[in-house]
Structure formats: C-alpha cells, structure tokens
Structure 1
C-alpha cells in the first residue's frame, strides 16, 4: 500500500478491473444511492397521455360545472317584505287616477322642466337636427325619411282623452320573486326595454307590453316575446339602426356587410305588422343626457340607459308613472343584476357606457318628489 497526501490506494492483482471504474459503478448504483432508475420514474407514453386527459377533464370541470350549479344570490331591498310590496301596489291601483299628477309635480322642480312636452315618436324627417346620433339624426335624414315612409302609423295607439297610468318595468333583480305580474298587467301603458322577457316570467313581470324600447342588438330573439305587444319603438344610436328597422319592416334582409357593423347579432324578423313599429324621438335622449350632465359634477361621457329613457317617455304619455324593477345596489356586488338571468351586480360596475350611480340619484329625487312611484322600493 502506498500513501500520498492522505490518499490511500491499494495494489490490485493482475487482471482485476481498474479502481476508478469500480468506484464509478458503486456511486451510480441505484441500490447504493437509493434513487430509482429513470425508466421507473417516468410514465410510459400511454400512461402519460391518459394522465394528461384526466387532468384536462378535471380542469374543464372545475371551470364549467359551477356555472350550471344553482347559486344563492343575495337578496337586496329596502327591508320591505314581498307582502308589503304587493299591498303597496294594490293600494296604488285601488286609488282613482289623478289627472296631471306627474307633470304638476315635475313643474315644481326647475332642473327637471326640460323633460316636459317632448314629442314621443317621430312623424316626419324634417327635424332640423343639429346633432348626429344618438342625440340627433344629423346626416341620417335621407335614411330616416325612407324608413318613416315604410311605417304606416307614427302616432300613439291609444286615446289621450282619459287619465292614464304608466308603469316602466325595469330589468333589475329586485323584481324577481315579488309576484307583481298581475298588478303590472292592470296598468294602461306598460313600457319595457330591450330583451327583458315576459315569457316564463309572467308571475313577476306581467304578460302585456304596450311599448318596448329597443336598439337592434337588444331586440328579443324569441318570437313569443312579441305576443301581446302593441309597439316596438326603435331608439336610434347610429344610422345603421334605421337600416335595420327598414329591413325588419319590409322583410328585405340586410347585406352581410351591414351586419358586420353591429356589435352583436341582430334579429332578422319580428312577427309584428309594420303598423306596430315606431321611431323614438332622439330629443328624449338628448334632453335626458343634458340633464345627467348638469346633475353629475364629473361630466362623464356616457349615454342614458333605456330604462331612464323609458321613464322620460312615460312622463310624456301618462298622468301617473310607476316603476318596478329599478335600482342598482352596487354595495352588494353578489346580488342578482337582472330578474331573468344569473349575472351579478358587479357586472354593472365594470361597464363605462352608462352612469348608473347618477341615474339612480336622479330617479331617487323624482321618487322623493312623488313624480314617480317606486313599487319595488329600492330607489
């Protein structure tokens, strides 16, 4: 044995393997290191594929299955029970209609007088528009004239001689479970917006519709939603909306190029005769928008919701105006946004098109002044 700086090396017999080879084989031995061989650690290609499919299925299930499970949405209100709401609504209907009630009170509110005496529907194309859609129809006069020529009627379908009650039915989740449907159907004029359904929701939302305000992307898809409907009133946000209405009334399909410019698929047919269609006067939207600007110190560039437009329209038509399903409680992000679907309140927080906070404050002031009656009690 030879010793050199503490390194000990034994002399081997002739014919034996080299020492370094033996050391290497000892270190790499699975038994000595305690590690499995690579072929024992990795799965076979078939097992690897099966595991991948299982993990993929599990991931999709975790994402998709909860969307189809029942979700308990928080209920929000002013503390009134459903029975209280029904009693209040019944008492409103039992009273004699007060002629000129809403207008008389609105006249006492200087900031709101601009919302009075606005023609509801367009009857001719000579409006002298100074603004482009949606606040006017500048640049769309020719298309407006063409569309109006296809509408045999442009006035109101009811007589203004007697005292009338309007109800504007909003889409708010607060309407769900209130069982106001029978009460809503008793009003003289029932105004709804866009695709808020009545089919399947008659118990809460009623079954009749006097005026349904729509823009093309929001018009109901199901034909049964147009049953018991007197008027479909277009709210024009762009020139193309007039082309859509003309197409629906004349049954002449829009070109594929025109359809590309809608932000959502639109219906091609509505099962109502031409006499049931109208064009809402943009002056309603224009004056409502200016009121919101003066009401909101921040001067946000937003447009009024169809719900608020429906309220202003109702003030032109009726002596008494009631609301049902209005109000957004943004303090409860998990509450149901609409009565007919499972969207949550926080969805409204993310949108920038409408200033719902300012609109709610405006409506609350009108309710406080008793210009409007809030049946569902959130405003």
Structure 2
C-alpha cells in the first residue's frame, strides 16, 4: 500500500486527542455537503453556460477518500468542471453555518504569493462556490473578486491563518437564490444527524469495555493469540485499538474474523465483526486474494442489510434487541463499510476495479428510505 505524500497537507497532529473513528466522523461532515451539492451544481452550470456537456466531479486526493489515515486534508480543490471548451475549471466549496457580518476565505487558497511582491496574484482556473447552510442563497466568486473586495486579516476560526474577509454587503451583491438548495440542505442535516446517531455506538462500546483496559497485563500475549469466539475477538481488537498495538499476523486475524458472519448474524454481532475488520484492515497491506475476500464480504453485508429494513424505517435482525439500537447498529455498520469501500478504491485502485467495486457517490447512500429512517429515530 502506497501513501501519496503530495496529497497530505496536514499531518497526524490534525487528529490531536480524537480517536481514529472520531477523526473520521469529523472529516466526513463537509464531504456530506460536497457530495449532495455536486448534482445540483452540475445542473446549475449547465444552465449558466448553456452547455449540457458539462460534468462536475469531485477532485483530488479526496475524490474517493474523505479522511487520510495519518490525519490531514488535501490542498486540492473540491470539484473539477469538465466540458467547458478544452479547459478544466476548478471550484472550492465553502459554506457558512449562518449569515454573518464577514465571510472568510483563506489567502493561500485564493492567491499565490511571489517573492518580493506584497499582494497575492489570484489563482487561475479556480472559482469559489459559496453557500449559507439551510438557505437558498449561493454565490460564485472569482479569486480576483475576493482579493479586490476582501479585507486582509487573521482569523481564529481558520487556526489564526491569514484570510480575505468579505463583508455581508459585498457578498449579497453576488448572491443568487435557488429553492432546490433548501431541499439539499435538509438532506445534509438528516445525514449529519445519522452520522452523530451512529457514532453513539462508539461511545457505548467505550463505556462498556473501558474496564478491560485496566486489566491488560501482558500486551505481548494478546497480540499473538487469535481469540476463538467473536466476543473475545472483538474485545481484544478494542483493547489493541485503544493501546495502539497491532496483532501479529494481522492479515490472518482479518480473514479469520470474517468467518464469524453467517445468515443468522444479528446486528449486534455484525457491529463487532465490522469494527474488528475496520481496525485490522487499516493496520496491514492485503494480498490480492485477501482483498477479494474482504470486498466480497462488504458486498454481501450491504446486500443483507437491505433485507433487514422494516416498513417504518427501522432495522430488525433479532427479536431480543430494541428497534432503535438495531437501527443504530446497522447505520454504524454502513458507515464503516462505506469508509472501507472508499479506502480500498484509494489505496488499491487496480484491484478494486477488477473486483467491480464502485465508489460511494453520496455518504449513507446505502441507507435506503433515509427520511423514513430519520423519522423513526427522531420519534423514538
């Protein structure tokens, strides 16, 4: 597995005190919006330019991956627009959570700096799509316009980085409205709610198993012996994950845990299997045969999950589990499985193509009837 250092902007310090799953949850919030907005944006540009050949795609290192294992983000623009003559046009998506007096744009994203020249030169072939969360308002801004109208300052919200601050009045002069955006923002809100809802499973796991960390005596022993039961396997993976250790023969562990899955597996058991798979997968490199086994497993689970959904939006695998916890379990599993798919596409591009693995076009796209699911959760 190769890491492309050119795509890594910030390093592992980005993760700070967050666990790996917490970090991934946080890194997923903006891509939820980016992927939901992409289709609307493509239609908008086709109308604006009177060109039905325009295609908008996610761009750069995060076109497949919304998190990097070592922490960090990419410096690449969010979208690339193709079909405009022979040129590619790049777009950065920015949005404010609410209307403000000033809107900040990081100077390094807007313009390039030349030695001995105080003023930055606006970047070419780049524009900004600026939105306000929950609002039908949008604006398409050029770097030249931002530099011309922006006030240079240091913004705490950007980690004390230098920004161009655009006044509310100036931004208003460039804004247009499209009611379709309000519907998209509602979907974004729903998916962010599901993101937090499923992450509560992580907190529950930590609460239930934290006592195990006090009992770890022989770290060397627990990385060598493969546990025989799913519960033991899951607990050992939790311990190893928490203390930053990797089992010896991690590949063997990974393939072994897949064998705990069968047609009678409950959602609670499934969370333990997939948690373990997610932990082990990230700690090793896979052979083509091992990778195919993992990909086949992912495809089978996603297929089975569809059969677990009930008419009211909940999920059911076991009469002894509450519907709300079953639903949390399944969304937790979908969340990790979609991460795994994107990671495989990024780090194993040739193999994943051979295995027919397709990228996730929208986060939580494997949650069918998502509004029903959301309504079920919020009514319980």
TM-score bin, normalised by smaller chain: under 0.3
Give the alignment's TM-score, normalised by structure 2.
0.25
Structure number having the greater strand percentage = 2
Question: Which structure has the greater CA radius of gyration?
Answer: 1
Give the alignment's TM-score, normalised by structure 1.
0.25
